[in-house]
Amino acid sequence: MLVERDWAFKLAPQASKDLTLYQERAPHNALYDKSAKRYVASEQFEPHFLKPDPDGYLSRLRSVAEGLIDLSDSWITEFPDTDIALTPRRDIDSAVLRTVLSAVRDNRSIDVHYQSMSKDRPDPIWRRITPHAFGYDGFRWHVRAYCHVTDKFKDFLLPRILGVGEMGDGGGHSLQDALWQERFEVEIGPHPDLTASQKAVVAKDFGMEGGSAILTVRYAMKACPSAAVLRVLTQAGLHIDASSGWEVRRAIGNGVPPERILLTTQQTPDDLAELVGLGIRFNACSLSQLVAFGLACPGQPVSVRLNPGLGSGHSNRTNVGGPSASFGIWHSHLERILDTAREHGLKITQLHTHIGSGSDPEVWQRCSGLTMNLVRHLPDVTTVNLGGGYKVGRMSTELSTDLQRAGEPIAAELRRFADKEGRQLHLEIEPGTFFVANAGSVVASVIDTVDTGKEGYSFVKVDTGMTEIVRPSMYGAQHPIILIPREPQERPTKEYLVVGHCCESGDILTPEPGNPEGLLPRTLTEAQIDDPIVIDAAGAYCAAMSAKNYNSFPEAPEVLLATDGTFHLVRQRQTLEQVLQNERIPEFLR
């Protein structure tokens, strides 16, 4: 960025080299003013290394004007004459905030001295709450909590908490907070009484597409395709990302409208034309798939998945972008894509990219930039789908994706595209793990304890394993493991390797992080046979991606915890007869 300051100093040799290099990279940006003896921006100046970001500049301008940051800490060199309507600041006691944060982190309840605005409670009273989240409505910070007085989940304004008292055991679980857990799709549009030109400028102002602005969220159902989970999420308004023709049929069978389903698959289904006829959308992941779609559904709109040339994942096995990934059409094959579309009369209306399940927002930002560059060559594209892969920290030491940090540069990229190209793109994302990873647990029992001597290991054997949770064996994935004594008693801790019930050396639940070949003992309560043991954060890619029926173990039952605290059986335990029911004995063996 070229800036002007009334400073005089001598240039170090490295600075001179940097200026020379800058002039080589951006030859028309900087001119040397001999009389002023300094470089100035030319009339043709265009940013070369940074992209203009009006939102970023105006946000910084507001922060300085409000006194949130000092001008000396800002990169704004010449502060324009600015006046703003100050947002009233809420007086939040730091000790109150610190104590409430501690209660949220530790799932504890806390006594608060709270001033309600209810006519029934004109004076502040002490009440016990179990806080679990924070919310901001644009003006005020709330804490979302279970109220032990009214037996309900409520919002409590932080400034109205006048004092805090003792902590205690937690109350209602956040999963029981139906209003907090449910997500709604909000659509905004210009006021109907405005003129056409007024509506158009409002749509431009708010980044609306077709008079409205919507982010479509698709649940990646491969993470957990349980009928009950599908119904919960689709009733909340989510669309579906299906990974096979069979998943499409499964979703439709559970009440998902076909028009809400996008099929992105490695294996093209034999009934593709029939599925498209039902109303689903197809995302071609290879040139041969695009040809197959053109033959089966000529003249139809289609989505195309491109491999942008980079990826992100917590391991190579979860990286689905870049030259080592087979997912999507390589970005340099764009001309072949266009030729195939023309040959079959296809209209490419959506561009899809997905880079993996890492947590690096900078990679996503680069990917979105590459995607926008590709969209410029596809004039009929109205929707961009950036896939999912939002990292969820299952262990306390693991980072989760900061959606705000990841999303802001992508939103800015879409706005820049709209300003420059005059085309507003609709955005879709496809989270799976993000919704369900920490919403499920495997509840098992200790079936044995063994050791390999003083120089070896102590093992806990459990009645689960890769038949229900294969992620540790595949990826070296980490899951919290909690051992609970079957009878309440104090026991010492001990280091164990936790292993599954399969006759398979790889059935290990405590591998080294990211290394399924390595072993990393866990410190657990000393184990005894029949003790319950919980493998937590098992809601995604566990029951759905297991070594089902290995060693002829039947499929485990599944139980759903409803928001009212009741339990419901959503999958029965499989019987041996059901395991064997599709086997047939040829006549010569009878």
Contact 136, 198 (CB under 8 A): no
User: Which amino acid, residue 316?
Assistant: N
Helix (H), strand (E) counts: the chain: 15, 26
Contact 260, 233 (CB under 8 A): no
CA distance 404 to 409: 9
Beta bridge partners of 444: 533
Nearest to 368 by CA among 281, 327, 317, 428: 428
Would you give the end-to-end CA distance of the chain in angstroms? 82
User: How many alpha carbons lie under 13 Å from residue 163 in its C-beta half-sphere?
Assistant: 6
CA distance 268 to 292: 8
∠ CA 516-520-522, nearest 5°, is 130
Q: How much helix, strand and coil, in percent to the nearest 5, is found in the chain?
A: 30, 25, 45
Count CB atoms within 10 A of the CB of residue 543: 21
Give the active site residues. 503
Handedness of CA 413, 419, 420, 425 (dihedral sign): positive
Beta strand ranges found along 57-140 (DSSP E) = 108-114, 125-136
Handedness of CA 580, 581, 586, 590 (dihedral sign): positive
Contact 103, 95 (CB under 8 A): no
Contact 309, 260 (CB under 8 A): no
Count CB atoms within 10 A of the CB of residue 485: 14
CA distance 325 to 330: 10
Helix ranges (H only) for 352-509 are: 361-375, 403-421, 433-436, 471-475
Name every residue whose Cβ is closer than 8 Å to that of residue 406 and which is 6 or more positions away in sequence: 361, 364, 365, 390
CA distance 6 to 40: 12
Q: Do the bridges between strand 515-519 and strand 511-512 make them parallel or antiparallel, or are there none, so unpaired?
A: antiparallel
CA distance 79 to 74: 10
